[in-house]
Amino acid sequence: MTQQLSLKDILKELKTPTSERAKLITEAYNFAVKAHAGQKRDSGDDYVQHPIAVAKILAQMGMRSKTISAGLLHDVAEDTPTSLEEIEKKFGKEIACMVDGVTKLGRIKLRGSHEEYFLENLRKMFMAMAADIRVIIIKLADRLHNMQTLEYKPPEKQIRIAREAMEIFAPIANRLGMGEIKSQLQDIAFKYLDKENFDKVKELEEINYKNKEVYVKQAIKELSEEIKKEGISVIQIDGRAKSLYSLYLKLKEYDMNISRIHDLAAVRIIVPEVADCYEVLGIVHKKYRPMIGRIKDYISLPKPNGYQSIHTTVFGPDGKIIEIQVRTQKMHNEAEFGIAAHWIYSENKSKKNWKDYIFKKKQTIPENDIVWVKQLRQWQSEIGLDNEEFIQGLKIDFFKNHIFAFTPMGDIIDLPEDATPVDFAYAIHGEIGNHATGAKVGGNMVPLDYRIKNGDVLEILTSKDRKGPNPDWLKFVKTSIAKSHIRRETRKDNESIGTK
């Protein structure tokens, strides 16, 4: 049996507690306890321990009372005699719709080949995601708790559930910026999918991190003193070890030679303001010599999933190599729990773009304004029932690494790796893509099949005389948005020729 949780464990995790929110969660808790009465899990626990654990995870992420309540109720309609209509009557349509969405996602299973999984299951999952991301966040919390209790499942189920975690849920958590959830899912899945390498990497990390731990502690002490001297307040400073699966991927790059991994041990410094981050970076470099080429400023240029922090690798105490990470508390929360860390639904009706939030830091992220979710919804309606095309696009747009490129006005465009100026043009506006005749990068002409590099500044040249896109562009464009526009315009041209 596992640790027994109660209502108090959920309520104490609320980030913005109010009596009204506590009341709703309490009602959902009591409803779930009554509905699941008599049911048991494979661990021998009362079944209701699972939705309570899910609700606790959601509260830790910073989710609000409606989402937490839906987490408490997420298995009621599926696993008890209580109907969805009863849930809606008691808790309203919004919570009932989330419960229904999670129930539908629960029916998705990884079966057969990876290709079959892509064709049949990913489509359903992402359609649900495009409708309401809270459903996916609840499902991630649900899967995380199931992974934490995977030892009680039979071996064949352990493998299937672990594969789903590694191949479906961890990439989604990563795309939503939920780094802590992604790492936990990957590490547990790694243990069940590749026990031999899991044990090997765990042993390597334990031995090597233990050796480095003394230097990490010394660096924490020395840096704390130096930062204090400069009058900068530190919210938190601590050491951390790299996640096991992340370490395994790095080790494979370096022939399993752990001495070549420089970020195995890291010191994380959390400060109040963005300006403090850069001041602390200067203090760190004054105290310890930085390693050339190992300074990464993800504050001025965040990762596509919103991750912000400064990373620098230095020669720390006794010349030992240590990575230092500097960020604000807000950045840290978002690095841990991504979109869930700043989730405000009803309170904020602003229609700001998510990039405005990341770079201007004045707005929360309304769900409907997350650009890639909007594109996904539009894309699905354009593609219709073409599963093959949907999946091919997903492999590119969703799972590949993304880059940032800039318009001459400084607007930031989020694109997959190997995207071209044509992809860039269509990401700005369909008509710009349709009338594109050329492109400049940094003021120099480049071909339309040029592969955009992270940080490029692009100018798209257009002409009103161009009647539409060149069908040959389909040979090199990468994004689904560009492909769908080109195909649609090409069909229009062919139909107009046919009517003449």
At 75, is the secondary structure helix, strand, or coil?
coil
Residues 6+ apart with CB under 8 A from 43: 1, 2, 149, 152
Mark whether 79 is an active-site residue: yes
Contact 192, 151 (CB under 8 A): no
Half-sphere exposure of 363 (CA within 13 A, CB side): 18
Locate tokens 């937490």: which residue?
68
- CA of residue 51 relative to chain centroid, distance: 23
Cβ neighbours for 215, distance < 8 A, ≥ 6 positions apart: 265, 316, 317, 318, 320, 322
Q: Rounded to whole angstroms, how far apart are CA atoms 55 and 59?
A: 6
> Can you read off the two tokens belonging to residue 297?
């400023």
- Cβ atoms of residues 421 and 450 within 8 Å: yes
Report the largest interatomic distance among the alpha carbons of the chain, rounded to a whole angstrom: 81
Rounded Cα–Cα distance for residues 362 and 480 (Å): 31
Q: How far apart are CA 91 and CA 88, in angstroms?
A: 5
Tokens of 199: 């044990």
d(CA 427, CA 440): 16
Strand order in the sheet with 444-446: 444-446, 436-441, 458-462
Name the active-site residue from 27, 46, 78, 86: 78
CA-to-CA distance for 140 and 119, rounded, in angstroms? 21
Alpha carbon distance 194, 180 (integer Å): 21
Cα–Cα separations (whole angstroms), residue 430 to 68, 272, 426, 434, 443 = 39, 41, 5, 6, 23
Backbone angles phi, psi at 85, to 5 degrees: -60, -40
CA distances from 297 to 280, 313, 412, 452, 455 (A): 13, 12, 16, 20, 13
Q: Which amino acid is at 439?
A: A
Cβ neighbours of 449 (radius 10 Å):
14
**78 labelled catalytic:** yes
Q: What CA–CA distance (Å, rounded) separates 27 from 63?
A: 17
Which one of 9, 79, 120, 389 is the catalytic residue? Answer: 79
User: In angstroms, rounded to a whole number, what is the distance separating the alpha carbons of residues 7 and 19?
Assistant: 14
> CA 363, CA 385: separation in Å to the nearest integer?
36
Catalytic residues: 78-79
